[in-house]
C-alpha cells in the first residue's frame, strides 16, 4: 500500500502496481506519482469518479472542434518522467475538480496514455468542455508534477546521504566526535541536527575504523543534512496540498500560484548544492584512502569522467537563477529536477568510492584468485589480513552490496568496471532495486531505536566535568558574596502546594509545572525561590531575615538560547523593617559585586519603580483593573518591538490606540539615573501630579544618591520600559542584562515586594530581593578555560603494582595535596590523562626509578622534567606549590 491512494499488485505479466485516483478518501502522493512517472505503476480511475463525470454535459457547454480546442503540450526539454508526472497530476485535478460540465473522454484519454506501453506521444487538438479547459489551464500540472518528483527524490536523498556519509567516515577514518552534540536543552541545537547525529551514531555504532581525521566535509554533515531534512519536510507539506487540492474554476489568474510553488522549492536548490559540495569532497577523500595504487588510479579516472564536478553544480544553479528571475517557472522546476539528479549521482559516486576504499580491493583480489586458480582465494593470505570491524549499521549495508554484487556475477570474473556499473544501477533512485536499499537503511535506523542513547527532556541539560567546574566556581563566588553581606542559607522543598504558588505570577502562572493528582494534595514544582521564601517567613512567624538560597526552579517555558525549563536561581532576600531604601541599595550592591566577581564582561542594570509605572499607566488613561495585564505586555519590550506590543494592547487587551500611543511616548525614556530622574522631577512633569509617582521618585532619589556615593551608579540605567510581569512587586524593580557577544538576555532580576509575605499570614513584612539566573551566566562563563578538577599532581605508576602505588599516593594525601593515581605501562597514557584534566604536575615511577630510589617530576606549565629522590618528592612538591605542611 502506497502512502497515498490504493496500490496493489496486478496479475499482468509486468506485475506493476495500481494507483487508484478519484475515489472517496484516495489521494495522490509523491511516492505514487513517482511510481507512475517511472512506469512501475498504472493508474486506475475509481468507478465512483467515472459515474460522477459520466453524465453528458449540455451541448452548449461543449466547445466545437473549430472554435476553442484544447492543446495539451509540454516543453520539449521535459523528460519522459516529467511529462508522465504532469499528466498524472492533470488527471487527478480533473477528477477532484470536475463536475457536471466535465465528461470522461479527456480522463480516459490521459489514463490510457499513462497506462500505454508506448507512452505519451501527444494528443493533438481535443474537443473538450469549457470546464475542462479551465481546469487544464489552472491545474499547474507541470509545476506540481515535477515538484512531487522532487519531493520524492529529496526525501529518499535525505535518508541515503546519511548512510553514504557513514561509509565515507569509515573509509577515511574520520573523527566522528561531531555526531555527539551536547543537547543543551535550550532549543539551540535543532531537532533535525539531533536526529542526524542519532542516525549516524546508529550506523557507525561499534566501528573500529573511525579515527581522528578532521575535515570540513565531515564536520558539516550535521548542519547540511539537518537542513536537507528541514527543507524536505517543508516541501513535502506543501506538495501534498498541491497534488490533491481542487481547481477553483471561477477564479482568474495563475501566475501567483506558479511563483508560490517556486518560492517553496528555492531553499531546496540551495541545500542540494551544499549536499553535492560536501559529498563531492568526501568522495575525493575516499579515493585518497584506497590503498592499492592501481585500483585508486583506475577508479579516479572513472570518477573524473563520470561524476559531476562542482562547476557543473554551480552552473546548474545559475541556470535555475536565470529561470527564476525570468519567471520561467516550468523551466525552473525542470532544471531543479536536473540539479537533483546531478547531486544524486554525486552521492552515488561517494558511495562507490567509499565502498571500494573499504571492500573493493578484497573483492577484486578475490576475483583474480578465483580466475587464476578456479578455487576460493588463498585461506592463509586471508588470515593474515587484519579484520576490518565496520559499524553495526554500515556492515549491514556493505554486506547487502556485496551479496547483490556476487549474486549477479558470482560466476564471472570480477572487475572494477562491473562493480561500478552494478552500484550505479543498484543506487539509482529511479531503478527497480533502489527501494530495497532504502528500506534496509530505514530498517537499520528503526530497528536500533531501542538501542539509541536516551535523550534529555526539552529545556534540561547535563553538566559534564567542564561545566561542573564552571558551576562550582560560580557557586563558590556567589556564596562568598552572599555570606560577606551577612546572609544565612535556607533550603525549601522543590514542590509546594499548588494554592501556595497560584495567583502570584500574573500571566506567567500558566508556566507552572503541576504534578499529577494522585489522590492526595495538589502540588506544583516551584516556579521561583521568592514565593517559597515568603511562605517560610509567614509559616514561621518571622518578621526579619536576610537569607540566600541556591536551588533549581521549573517553568514550562519554550526552550531557547539561555532559556531552560529546569534551571538554578541564586537568590538573596532581605525581609523586615529598615531604613528607607537601605535594603534596596544593598541588594543592588550585591548584584554589582556578584557580576563583577564572576568576570562575565560588560553588563547593565535596568531599573524602574512599580509605583512609577502604575502612575504612568494612570496618567496615560489605562483603567486600574488593566494595570497588571498591560504591565505584562510592556515587560515584553526587550523581545518585541513597540508596534507589536501596541497591537497586543489594542487588539487583545482593549486599550484605545490613543492610550497605547501615550504609553509608547513614556516607555522610550531611558538614560543615566540622576539625569532622567531630574527630568521627571522637573516642574510641569505629569508624574508630580500623581501621588504614587511622587513617592516612587523620592525612593529613587534616595537610592540613586546612595549608589552614586558607592560608585555603582555607572552600572545602572533608569528605564521606564522595564515592567517585570510578576504580580507581587510593589516598589523598585531591576534587571541585569549582559551586553557581550553571547546572546543570553536577562541574567539577573528582582525588586521590592512588600505584600507577598502578608498573603500567607497575618503580618505584612516588607522585603526586597534579587535572583541571579545562573544558567545564563554559565553560558557566558563556559567560554572561560577552567580546569575540570582541582587535582594538583598525578601519580603515574608504570606497571601494575597497586600496593607500591598506594604507598606513594597515600603520602601525598596525608600531606594535604590533591592527588590522583594512574597505573598503566604506557608513559603516554599518563601524559595524555594529565593534559586532558589540566593537571599541572606528574610524578612518574617505573622499574628504573624504583631501582634507583628516585621519581621523575614533570612540570607541564614550564615544560620541564627532572629527577627527584623518592624520599623527598612530597616535600619538594609542597615547596613548589607554596603549600605549608601541617
DSSP character string of 79-109: -HHHHHHHHHHHHHHHHHH--TT--SHHHHH
C-alpha cell at 24: 472517496
479 in helix, strand or coil?
Answer: helix
Under the banding of pLDDT at 50, 70 and 90, the label for residue 160 is very high
59, pLDDT greater than 50? no
Under the banding of pLDDT at 50, 70 and 90, the label for residue 458 is confident
Choice among 141-155, 161-175, 557-571 with the minimum mean pLDDT: 557-571
413, pLDDT greater than 60? no
What is residue 41's DSSP assignment? E
263-313 residue pLDDT tens: 889 999 999 999 999 999 999 999 999 988 888 999 999 999 998 888 888
pLDDT score recorded for residue 123? 66
382, pLDDT greater than 50? no
pLDDT score recorded for residue 885? 41
pLDDT score recorded for residue 99? 66
Task: Please name the residue that has the C-alpha cell 509605572.
Answer: 613
Q: Taking residues 34-46, what's their average pLDDT? A: 87
E strand or H helix that includes residue 353: helix 329-355
Under the banding of pLDDT at 50, 70 and 90, the label for residue 67 is very low
490-522 residue pLDDT tens: 999 999 999 999 888 877 788 899 998 777 789
Residues making up the chain, counted from first to last: 886
Q: Taking residues 787-807, what's their average pLDDT? A: 86
E strand or H helix that includes residue 226: helix 221-244
- Of 847 and 411, the structure prediction assigns the larger pLDDT to 847
pLDDT score recorded for residue 380? 42
Most confident of 560-574, 742-756, 838-852: 838-852
145, pLDDT greater than 60? yes
pLDDT score recorded for residue 347? 94
121-137 residue pLDDT tens: 666 666 667 777 788 77
Sorted by sequence, the CB contacts under 8 Å of residue 589 that are 6+ apart come out as 707, 710, 712
Neighbours of 233 (CB within 10 A): 12
679-692 residue pLDDT tens: 998 888 888 988 88
pLDDT score recorded for residue 12? 32
Quote the pTM value: 0.58
E strand or H helix that includes residue 627: helix 627-634
Choice among 35-49, 147-161, 329-343 with the minimum mean pLDDT: 35-49
How far is Cα 863 from Cα 831, in angstroms, rounded to an integer? 12
What is residue 44's DSSP assignment? E
Under the banding of pLDDT at 50, 70 and 90, the label for residue 660 is confident
732, pLDDT greater than 90? yes
Classify strands 793-797 and 767-773 as parallel, antiparallel or unpaired. unpaired
**Are the CB atoms for 843 and 795 separated by under 8 Å?**
yes
What is residue 648's DSSP assignment? I
827, pLDDT greater than 50? yes
pLDDT score recorded for residue 414? 63
546, pLDDT greater than 90? yes
Query: What distance lies between CA 852 and its chain's CA centroid?
Result: 58
pLDDT score recorded for residue 5? 37
Most confident of 615-624, 641-650, 694-703, 829-838: 694-703
Q: Taking residues 399-405, what's their average pLDDT? A: 81
636, pLDDT greater than 90? no
pLDDT score recorded for residue 657? 86
Choice among 22-26, 338-342, 875-879 with the minimum mean pLDDT: 22-26
Mean pLDDT of the chain: 82
575, pLDDT greater than 90? yes
Helix-, strand-, coil-residue percentages of the chain, each rounded to 5: 55, 15, 35
102, pLDDT greater than 80? no
861, pLDDT greater than 90? no
609 in helix, strand or coil?
Answer: strand
- Of 250 and 450, the structure prediction assigns the larger pLDDT to 250
What is residue 62's DSSP assignment? B
Neighbours of 540 (CB within 10 A): 9
- Of 262 and 745, the structure prediction assigns the larger pLDDT to 262
- Of 741 and 226, the structure prediction assigns the larger pLDDT to 226
pLDDT score recorded for residue 253? 46
**Are the CB atoms for 19 and 42 separated by under 8 Å?**
yes
Amino acid at each position: 500500500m502506497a502512502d497515498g491512494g490504493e496500490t496493489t499488485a496486478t496479475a499482468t505479466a509486468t506485475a506493476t502496481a495500481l494507483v487508484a485516483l478519484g475515489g472517496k478518501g484516495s489521494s495522490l502522493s509523491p511516492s505514487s506519482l513517482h511510481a507512475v512517472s517511472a512506469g512501475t505503476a498504472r493508474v486506475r480511475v475509481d468507478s465512483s469518479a467515472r459515474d460522477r463525470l459520466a453524465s453528458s454535459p449540455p451541448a452548449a457547454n461543449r466547445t466545437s472542434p473549430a472554435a476553442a480546442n484544447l492543446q495539451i503540450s509540454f516543453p520539449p526539454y521535459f523528460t519522459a518522467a516529467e511529462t508522465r508526472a504532469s499528466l498524472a497530476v492533470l488527471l487527478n485535478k480533473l477528477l477532484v475538480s470536475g463536475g457536471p460540465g466535465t465528461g470522461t473522454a479527456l480522463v480516459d484519454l490521459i489514463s490510457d496514455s499513462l497506462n500505454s506501453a508506448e507512452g505519451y506521444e501527444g494528443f493533438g487538438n481535443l474537443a473538450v468542455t469549457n470546464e475542462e479547459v479551465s481546469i487544464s489551464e489552472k491545474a499547474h500540472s507541470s509545476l506540481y508534477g515535477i515538484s512531487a518528483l522532487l519531493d520524492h527524490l529529496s526525501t529518499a536523498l535525505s535518508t541515503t546521504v546519511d548512510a553514504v556519509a557513514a561509509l565515507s567516515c569509515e573509509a577515511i577514518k574520520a573523527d566522528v566526535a561531531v555526531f555527539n552534540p551536547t543537547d543543551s536543552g535550550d532549543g539551540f541545537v535543532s531537532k533535525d541536527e539531533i536526529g542526524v547525529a542519532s542516525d549516524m551514531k546508529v550506523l557507525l555504532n561499534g566501528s573500529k575504523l573511525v579515527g581522528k581525521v578532521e575535515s570540513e566535509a565531515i564536520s558539516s554533515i550535521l548542519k547540511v543534512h539537518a537542513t536537507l531534512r528541514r527543507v524536505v519536510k517543508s516541501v513535502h507539506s506543501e506538495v501534498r496540498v498541491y497534488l490533491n487540492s481542487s481547481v477553483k474554476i471561477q477564479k482568474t489568474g495563475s501566475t501567483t500560484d506558479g511563483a508560490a510553488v517556486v518560492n517553496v522549492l528555492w531553499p531546496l536548490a540551495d541545500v542540494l548544492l551544499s549536499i553535492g559540495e560536501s559529498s563531492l569532497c568526501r568522495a575525493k577523500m575516499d579515493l585518497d584512502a584506497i590503498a592499492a595504487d592501481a585500483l585508486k588510479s583506475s577508479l579516479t579516472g572513472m570518477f573524473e569522467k563520470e561524476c559531476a564536478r562542482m562547476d557543473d553544480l554551480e552552473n546548474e544553479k545559475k541556470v535555475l537563477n536565470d529561470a527564476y528571475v525570468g519567471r520561467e517557472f516550468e523551466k525552473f522546476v525542470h532544471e531543479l529536477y536536473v540539479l537533483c539528479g546531478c547531486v544524486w549521482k554525486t552521492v552515488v559516486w561517494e558511495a562507490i568510492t567509499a565502498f571500494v576504499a573499504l571492500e573493493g580491493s578484497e573483492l577484486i583480489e578475490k576475483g583474480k584468485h578465483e580466475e587464476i586458480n578456479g578455487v576460493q582465494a588463498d585461506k592463509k593470505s586471508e588470515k593474515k589480513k587484519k579484520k576490518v570491524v565496520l559499524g553495526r549499521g554500515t556492515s549491514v549495508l556493505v554486506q547487502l552490496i556485496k551479496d547483490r554484487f556476487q549474486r549477479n556475477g558470482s560466476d564471472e570474473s570480477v572487475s572494477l568496471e562491473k562493480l561500478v556499473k552494478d552500484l550505479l544501477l543498484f543506487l539509482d533512485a529511479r531503478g527497480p532495486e533502489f527501494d530495497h536499499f532504502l528500506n534496509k537503511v530505514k530498517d537499520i535506523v528503526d530497528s536500533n531505536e531501542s538501542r539509541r542513547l536516551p535523550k534529555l527532556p526539552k529545556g534540561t541539560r547535563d553538566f559534564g566535568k567542564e561545566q561542573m567546574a564552571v558551576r562550582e566556581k560560580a557557586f563558590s563566588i556567589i556564596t562568598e558574596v552572599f555570606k560577606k553581606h551577612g546572609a544565612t542559607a535556607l533550603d525549601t522543598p522543590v514542590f509546594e502546594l499548588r494554592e501556595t504558588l497560584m495567583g502570584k505570577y500574573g500571566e506567567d502562572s500558566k508556566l507552572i509545572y503541576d504534578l499529577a493528582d494522585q489522590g492526595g494534595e495538589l502540588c506544583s514544582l516551584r516556579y521561583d525561590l521568592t514565593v517559597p521564601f515568603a511562605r517560610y517567613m509567614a509559616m514561621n512567624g518571622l518578621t526579619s531575615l536576610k537569607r540566600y538560597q541556591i536551588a533549581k526552579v521549573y517553568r514550562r517555558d519554550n526552550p531557547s538560547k539561555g532559556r531552560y525549563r529546569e534551571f538554578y536561581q541564586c537568590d538573596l532576600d532581605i525581609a523586615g523593617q529598615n531604613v528607607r531604601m537601605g535594603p534596596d541599595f544593598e541588594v543592588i550592591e550585591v548584584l554589582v559585586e556578584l557580576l563583577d566577581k564572576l568576570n562575565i564582561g560588560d553588563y547593565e542594570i535596568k531599573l524602574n519603580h512599580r509605583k512609577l509605572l502604575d502612575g504612568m499607566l494612570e496618567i496615560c488613561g489605562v483603567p486600574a483593573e488593566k494595570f497588571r495585564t498591560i504591565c505584562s505586555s510592556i515587560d515584553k519590550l526587550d523581545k518585541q518591538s513597540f508596534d507589536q506590543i501596541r497591537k497586543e494592547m489594542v487588539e487583545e487587551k482593549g486599550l484605545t490606540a490613543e492610550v497605547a500611543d501615550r504609553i509608547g511616548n513614556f516607555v522610550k525614556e531611558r538614560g543615566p539615573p540622576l539625569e532622567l530622574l531630574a527630568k521627571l522631577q522637573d516642574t510641569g512633569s505629569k508624574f508630580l501630579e500623581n501621588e504614587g509617582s511622587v513617592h516612587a521618585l523620592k525612593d529613587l532619589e534616595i537610592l540613586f544618591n546612595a549608589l552614586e556615593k558607592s560608585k555603582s551608579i555607572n552600572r545602572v540605567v533608569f528605564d521606564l520600559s522595564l515592567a517585570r510581569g510578576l504580580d507581587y512587586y510593589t516598589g523598585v524593580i531591576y534587571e541585569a542584562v549582559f551586553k557581550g557577544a553571547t546572546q543570553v538576555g536577562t541574567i539577573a532580576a528582582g525588586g521590592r515586594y512588600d505584600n507577598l509575605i502578608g498573603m500567607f499570614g497575618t503580618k505584612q513584612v516588607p522585603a526586597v530581593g534579587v535572583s541571579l539566573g545562573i544558567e545564563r551566566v554559565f553560558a557566558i562563563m563556559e567560554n572561560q578555560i577552567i580546569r575540570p578538577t582541582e587535582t594538583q599532581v598525578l601519580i603515574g605508576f608504570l606497571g601494575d603494582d597497586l600496593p607500591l602505588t598506594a604507598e606513594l599516593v597515600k603520602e601525598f594525601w596525608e600531606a594535604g595535596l590533591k592527588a590522583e593515581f594512574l597505573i598503566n605501562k604506557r608513559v603516554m597514557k599518563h601524559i595524555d590523562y594529565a593534559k586532558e584534566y589540566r593537571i599541572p604536575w606528574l610524578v612518574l615511577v617505573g622499574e628504573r626509578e624504583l631501582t634507583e630510589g628516585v621519581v621523575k617530576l614533570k612540570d607541564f606549565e614550564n615544560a620541564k622534567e627532572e629527577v627527584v629522590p623518592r624520599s623527598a618528592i612530597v616535600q619538594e612538591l609542597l615547596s613548589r606549590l607554596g603549600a605549608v605542611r601541617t
